[in-house]
Amino acid sequence: MPPELAFEAQGISEPKFFRNEAGKIVLFWTALSAEFWDIYYSVYDAAHEQWSAPQQITHDQGAETMICPAESGGNILVGYVKRRIDLSDPDRPPQIGLSDIYLMEHVPSRDLFIGPNDISVDIRFNMAGLAAFSSYWLDEDCARPGANCASADYDGDGVVDFNDYALFARDRFNTITGYGRVADITAAVHLAGDFIVKDVNVDFYDGNPGTGVLIGSQTVAMLLPGQATPVVQRWYVPGDGRSHDIYVVVDPNNNIAETDDELNNTAFVTLFKPDLQPQSVAVIGYPAADSVLIGLSIGNYGEATADPFGFEVRKDSVDGEVIYAGSLGPIEAGASGITQFAWDVSGQAAGTYTLFVVADVNDDVAESREDNNVDCGQAAVLADLEAIQWSGRIEAGTAYITVRNVGAKPSLPTTVRATCDDQSLGTGAVAAVNPGASVEVSFAITEPGPGAVVEITVNPDSDGSDEVTLLNNTAIVIR
């Protein structure tokens, strides 16, 4: 009988044949591996005249050699020598160390399994959307040489190309996202162990198998040990704008006896995830003494609707004191959730604080990104002196102005100054003003000439650190 090729591999050394209790031929050998040098095995199924795919059974940086198999109660005992190899220095060749004798028991097994990385979803290109854009492109006369197609140049780069189609389709036909389109789900089903299996059922679900929708079922005619077989299921993606968990269940009815029948036969991936990101947090106003009105918005930059989630506003740092906790949602993809709250600052000293918004604090939403859920902004907890425009006047060498504190904290005593063409006409004093209170100030000035433009400024020497803003500190009087 002529020799037969079992399989091809790199660096095969020390092959050892053994017939197990079930009568199957088992081949052990050593070969180069990703770790260094390890033991592999394959089982021959005479009924199907098939060798299983090579399966690596040691995983370390040692060099396994001198393998010696023997049978024990249906299992296979393998003795071997492991030589220690030091690979810690990438600039030096491997350093050979001491050798040790090891004993390993190989138990014949059969185990179907699948993991999340074995599932992929290919969403097919939507020709209807492309046809619609092509029609729009022709209607805009873009085919004519030298035509001005600015209306079709969605991204404004001066060229009408696929990027413009993508933006057009997203805005008008929702064809760039996967909703409402046809997809192919591919699952790589693995078989480990020593025995070929046949007629393996594979179920595909939209959602958890206990409560979700069965997309379809496929059957794998035969699997070889050590082999991963791709299984494809067609799926018509719902146009609901929601996230979808695609589950794959291998051998759902446990028709095939396995070493592990429960823990590794089911896997899932999530499609069309939302992506929550705080957009802004800022002061809206100062409704009363020791009260600051804070507004914030959180956007959804993902592909799917974000279900309701909790958020927190924290002071001084991302792990700082929580000054407000609330909830937002649901928020559709591309939309934002907006809210506001009154911050009681009676226990806060006057100053400017950094506020951090943390979205989805309890990880209720599975997102495409989890590293962008924090943003911050400044909140001034200060006085804010306003020179009331209509109150400014000059009479007989005296300037009059009403000053109101529209901030959250009392102001400090300060001054008020009248100037004309950057020349001081006179200065007066302003006492401390409580939040929400007003005071009329009058002071003597040098009388300006007719038609002069006089600026009356409260707190004129401030560097801005003691007030919310200096933009409202000046009133203008025209003589």
Q: Which pLDDT tens digit goes with each residue over 72-114?
A: 777 888 889 988 888 778 888 878 888 889 888 878 888 999 9
Asked if the model's pLDDT at residue 170 lies above 80, the reply is no
Are the CB atoms for 179 and 239 separated by under 8 Å?
yes
Supply the CATH classification number for the domain 113-119+181-271.
2.60.40.10
Give residue-wise pLDDT tens across range 418-461: 999 999 999 999 999 999 999 999 999 998 888 899 999 999 99
Q: What is the pLDDT of residue 168?
A: 62
Share of the chain above pLDDT 90, in %: 54
Average predicted confidence (pLDDT) for the chain: 87
Quick one: which of 166, 136, 162, 163 has its CA closest to 151? 136
Angstrom distance (rounded) from CA 152 to CA 204: 41
Q: What is the pLDDT of residue 135?
A: 65
Cis amide prior to 330 (ω within 30 degrees): yes
Q: Which CATH class is domain 13-108?
A: mainly beta
Pick the CATH number of 385-478 from 3.40.50.300, 3.20.20.450, 1.10.1840.10, 2.60.40.10: 2.60.40.10
Asked if the model's pLDDT at residue 60 lies above 50, the reply is yes
Report the SS3 class of residue 131.
Answer: helix
Tokens of 135: 């029609």
Domains of the chain: which residue ranges? 13-108, 113-119+181-271, 127-172, 276-381, 385-478
Angstrom distance (rounded) from CA 175 to CA 169: 5
Report the SS3 class of residue 334.
Answer: coil
Q: What is the pLDDT of residue 224?
A: 86
Confidence of residue 2 (pLDDT cuts 50, 70, 90): low
Q: What is the pLDDT of residue 71?
A: 78
Dihedral of CA atoms 373, 376, 381, 383 in degrees, nearest 10, equals -140
Q: What is the pLDDT of residue 232?
A: 96
Question: Side chain identity at 464, as an amino acid letter?
Answer: G
Tokens of 398: 């005296």
Q: Which CATH architecture has domain 276-381?
A: Sandwich (2.60)
DSSP class of residue 221 equals: E
Rounded (to 5) percent helix, strand, coil in the chain = 5, 50, 45
First CA to last CA across the chain, in angstroms?
A: 120
Angle ∠(342,346,351) on CA atoms, nearest 5: 90
Angstrom distance (rounded) from CA 284 to CA 397: 39
Confidence of residue 128 (pLDDT cuts 50, 70, 90): low
Judge if 113-119+181-271 and 385-478 fold alike in CATH terms.
yes
> Which of 11-25, 197-211, 255-269, 310-324 has the weakest average pLDDT?
11-25
Asked if the model's pLDDT at residue 31 lies above 70, the reply is yes
